[in-house]
Structure 1
Amino acid sequence: MRAWARVAAVLFVIGYGANQFSPLMVMYREQGHYSATVVAAFFGVYVAGLAPGLLVGGPLSDRLGRRRVLLPAVVASVPASGVLAAGAFSETLLYTGRFLFGLVTGVAMAVGTTWVKELSQAPHDPEADAGSGARRAALALSAGFGIGPAVGGVLAQWAPLPMELPYLVHVVLTLPVIPLVARAPETRSPEVAPRRSLLSDLKVPAAAHPRFLGLVLPLAPWVFGAPALSFAVQPAALGSERTAGFGLIFATGLTAVTLSAGVAIQSAARRLDARAPLAGARLGLVLIVVGILVAAVTALTGSLVVAFVASAILGAAYGISLVSGLLEVQRIAGPAHLAGLTAVFYSLTYIGFLLPVVLAPLAVHVPYPVLLVVVAVVAAMCLAVLVTAGRRTRRTVTV
């Protein structure tokens, strides 16, 4: 197995475990009898763990080495899944398990994405091009994000122990990946005696770069905001009565369509970026606006077919935006700041997963079609900011 593939396997199993919860939200709402707001909170507490994992994981791996930080995170994902499986009997355990998995995922994404990029260049892979690392990391994550909910949703719909078995399958998949990452080549030598504090390492000067503020910041929250709207908000907007008896498999289908579209378009996104570096980000936000408006039509008409169309559009938007964002981060940051800026980027992307948490309580008072139109207007404003910044910001060297 190639060196980069060992680390990409980690991104796959972490993405698998992190996102398999998405269709299970319907199960917790229908079988666990939790309110829509509580289920959205299960979805959102993951971000509370993710942010510190992202922001600390990258700088810590710069200090200690990639393996010393990523390996414990992969190992810790096993008991995190165990806590979620035990959450069938406790709301507290569900919150705890989701927080723990967010923490693990944050570390894995910050360190794993950087490590894959470093292993996708000389001397480890001299034939790879400049964008191979971002593309490989994005594909591995997206594949995990897509396959995890597809398998988890099917198991929860038709297999025994629906609230436990999906998490146990993730444990079985993760165990053989642990020795793979343990043998991956180290690309960052541990510092024998760091001359600065970890707190100073957490500062990422590249986050103040004009290109990051103007071109990455307006895009980042929509990277995962798009799939969250697709497979978390749309089922809630339709209501359980519209999908009675097959709500779980319907949510699984939306998740599969969203993330399949996201994976399928990433190679094209890379080629588009190579020809016009800002075109991918612009197209991603355009598709997000269109996809949200189609989702509003879903909420208005109750059409399951329109819901799948919205998922395909939002999935394509997710794939283009993720690749474009990662490539822009790699253009902005030099080797000394890459892990930290990647962590900041991912932290911003996961803000989008809070959209269901915000919209669920508001939907008690305001219809979902209206809420989604408002969200589309906000996305359009971000597109305007990005386009304006692109005209003003000329290509600059890394920092």
Structure 2
Amino acid sequence: MRQASAARRSWIEHRKNNMTASLTTSALASTHRSRHASGFWFVAAAFLSLMAFGTVPTPLWPLYQARDHFGPTAVTVAFAVMVLGAALGFGLLGHLSDRFGRRRIIVPALLVGIASAAVLAAWPDLPGLIVGRIITGVSVGLMASTASAYLSDLYQVARPDRAGSHVPSLVASVANLGGLAFGPLISGALAQWAPAPLTTSYLVFAGILAVLLVLLLATPETVDTALRAGDRPTRFALRPGHARVFAAAAGLGFFAFALMGLFSSLGAVMVRGRLGITSTFVVGLAPFTAFAASAAAQLALGALAQRRQLVLGTATFPVGMVLTALAIHRPTLGFFLFAVAVAGAGAGLVFKAAVAQTAAAAAPASRAGVLAVFFVIAYLGMGLPSVAFSLVIRHAALVPTMIGFAAVLSAGTVLAVVTSLRGGAATR
């Protein structure tokens, strides 16, 4: 009896220990997932805020233009140098998070963004504007490809039951384009009603980025940085047979961002010059409307299959461009905002599908590197066509130039979509 009783007590104690260990493991796993879930939203907020900072000068261009007496081409060049900085950031540094870790790249991206805000606030002349914009571009280049991959990593850990979910790519696209939307709206409002319109916005965003920097320091790392040299990921590696998919996605990103670049660089000048509106808040509405419609279209229609998104976006894109040309010919604010909203919605659907295709085409260990190359191409689309547009309108009327611009972008988008559909990329 005594032996049986002792054996029973031993069994009960063993079971209690197992239950305690199981509960402890479950609690640790729950805490682990919770940290990754909160980190997911910290990264999304940082991504959105830094992208918003990138478009802060958009409604301020007419103020710089009036103060320094330079034309639309100088405005476009001052805008486009950010694209140069972004291309450098994407091309030279955007892949590094695959090797050194996501957090180790995003934290410097925020630091560089804060430094660029300091330059733009302290040195408001044209040379300072150009230097600050280049630095801004570098910070955007570090952030965009890394944040997109980081969001995917964090979500996989936080929600292991939702493998293959489109949530990370949707949040990444909305943070990207939503940030680009809110930048001009916030800076336009601050320039309209706050003092020192050419410095206040930069200081406000420097404070926002500093707060997010602290939150990012508490976000878990998701990359194994202790790999041997032979195990380190290739900088750019696609899944077998996915080269055509990536090429089509990169083309879609180029043409979608070409439209956004036009409204970011010259939208404020169009509103002020064609409509005669001097309010910086109203001037900031044009780019805000385009980017906000883009993000809203993604949220509303993001559950559609990629094929349907591409077809709908391709149909909407040229309609919006034609409406924009008509709005410039018959300038009224309401019609102009409606036109840019239609164009932005089409571009947003095309861009979302392009990001999802790029992520799917990338080898898992090279996701940030592949996204970096994608964003280099997309940001070249944001800068180069806008510079070309500003040069053409020096020698041709605005409305025919806009119609020609719409035709070229629409044709390029259709070609990229057809390539994508034939390649079987947009079936999900």
Same fold by TM-score greater than 0.5: yes
Q: Which residue of 2 aligns with 1:20?
A: 56
Compute the displacement of 1:13 (Å): 1.6
- The reply to whether residue 272 of structure 1 matches residue 304 of structure 2 is yes
* SS state at 1:271 partner: coil
- The reply to whether residue 10 of structure 1 matches residue 46 of structure 2 is yes
Size of the alignment, in residue pairs? Answer: 388
Q: For residues 392 and 262 of structure 1, do their structure 2 counterparts lie closer, same or farther at Cα, with a shift above 3 Å needed?
A: closer
Q: Which residue of 2 aligns with 1:342?
A: 371
Q: Which residue of 2 aligns with 1:185?
A: 220
| Contact 2:316–2:342, Cα closer than 8 Å, also in 1 | yes
- The one-letter code of the counterpart of 1:389 is T
TM-score by length of 2: 0.84
- The one-letter code of the counterpart of 1:233 is L
Deviations 1:276-330 (A, max 9, x none): x222223223322112111111222233222111221122123212221111112
Give me the whole-angstrom Cα distance separating, in 2, the residues matched to 1:316 and 1:396: 19
Compute the displacement of 1:238 (Å): 5.3
Q: Which residue of 1 aligns with 2:422?
A: 392
Q: For residues 235 and 13 of structure 1, do their structure 2 counterparts lie closer, same or farther at Cα, with a shift above 3 Å needed?
A: closer
| Contact 1:238–1:298, Cα closer than 8 Å, also in 2 | no
Q: Which residue of 2 aligns with 1:365?
A: 395
Aligned match of 2:404 in 361, 369, 374?
Answer: 374
Give me the whole-angstrom Cα distance separating, in 1, the residues matched to 2:106 and 2:181: 22
Aligned match of 1:157 in 187, 192, 205?
Answer: 192
Deviations 1:54-111 (A, max 9, x none): 12333211111111111111112111101111232x2111100000000000110011
- The one-letter code of the counterpart of 2:216 is V
* SS state at 1:240 partner: helix
Gaps of 5+ in 1: none
Q: For residues 192 and 338 of structure 1, do their structure 2 counterparts lie closer, same or farther at Cα, with a shift above 3 Å needed?
A: closer
Compute the displacement of 1:193 (Å): 4.6
Compute the displacement of 1:361 (Å): 2.0
Q: Which residue of 2 aligns with 1:54?
A: 90
Q: Which residue of 2 aligns with 1:216?
A: 249
| Contact 1:219–1:285, Cα closer than 8 Å, also in 2 | no
Give me the whole-angstrom Cα distance separating, in 2, the residues matched to 1:289 and 1:92: 37
Q: Which residue of 2 aligns with 1:250?
A: 282
Q: For residues 162 and 294 of structure 1, do their structure 2 counterparts lie closer, same or farther at Cα, with a shift above 3 Å needed?
A: same
Compute the displacement of 1:266 (Å): 1.3
- The reply to whether residue 313 of structure 1 matches residue 342 of structure 2 is yes
Deviations 1:19-70 (A, max 9, x none): 1122122221233432211111111000100012112333211111111111
Give me the whole-angstrom Cα distance separating, in 1, the residues matched to 2:148 and 2:322: 32
Give me the whole-angstrom Cα distance separating, in 2, the residues matched to 1:351 and 1:209: 20
Q: For residues 127 and 136 of structure 1, do their structure 2 counterparts lie closer, same or farther at Cα, with a shift above 3 Å needed?
A: farther
* SS state at 2:395 partner: coil
Higher Rg of the two aligned structures = 2
| Contact 1:284–1:317, Cα closer than 8 Å, also in 2 | yes
* SS state at 1:278 partner: helix
- The one-letter code of the counterpart of 1:374 is G
| Structural RMSD (CA) | 2.4
Aligned match of 1:295 in 314, 319, 324?
Answer: 324
TM-score by length of 1: 0.90
- The one-letter code of the counterpart of 2:48 is F
* SS state at 1:72 partner: helix
- The reply to whether residue 170 of structure 1 matches residue 205 of structure 2 is yes
Q: For residues 36 and 390 of structure 1, do their structure 2 counterparts lie closer, same or farther at Cα, with a shift above 3 Å needed?
A: closer
Compute the displacement of 1:338 (Å): 1.4
**Pairs within 5 Å for 1:348-359:** 348-354=377-383, 355-359=385-389
Compute the displacement of 1:229 (Å): 2.7
Q: For residues 396 and 282 of structure 1, do their structure 2 counterparts lie closer, same or farther at Cα, with a shift above 3 Å needed?
A: closer
Compute the displacement of 1:143 (Å): 2.9
* SS state at 1:364 partner: coil
| Contact 2:298–2:349, Cα closer than 8 Å, also in 1 | yes
Give me the whole-angstrom Cα distance separating, in 1, the residues matched to 2:132 and 2:190: 19
| Contact 1:58–1:340, Cα closer than 8 Å, also in 2 | yes
* SS state at 2:345 partner: helix
Q: Which residue of 2 aligns with 1:68?
A: 104
Give me the whole-angstrom Cα distance separating, in 2, the residues matched to 1:371 and 1:7: 40
- The one-letter code of the counterpart of 1:51 is A
Give me the whole-angstrom Cα distance separating, in 1, the residues matched to 2:97 and 2:123: 31
Give me the whole-angstrom Cα distance separating, in 2, the residues matched to 1:393 and 1:57: 30
* SS state at 2:96 partner: helix
Give me the whole-angstrom Cα distance separating, in 1, the residues matched to 2:421 and 2:207: 50
Give me the whole-angstrom Cα distance separating, in 2, the residues matched to 1:160 and 1:396: 49
- The one-letter code of the counterpart of 1:348 is I
| Contact 2:251–2:416, Cα closer than 8 Å, also in 1 | yes
Give me the whole-angstrom Cα distance separating, in 2, the residues matched to 1:356 and 1:304: 22
| Contact 2:244–2:420, Cα closer than 8 Å, also in 1 | no
- Percent of aligned pairs with the same residue? 24
Q: Which residue of 1 aligns with 2:266?
A: 233
| Contact 1:57–1:110, Cα closer than 8 Å, also in 2 | no
Deviations 1:139-186 (A, max 9, x none): 222332222211101111232111100000001111111121111111
Q: For residues 203 and 116 of structure 1, do their structure 2 counterparts lie closer, same or farther at Cα, with a shift above 3 Å needed?
A: closer
Give me the whole-angstrom Cα distance separating, in 2, the residues matched to 1:351 and 1:61: 22
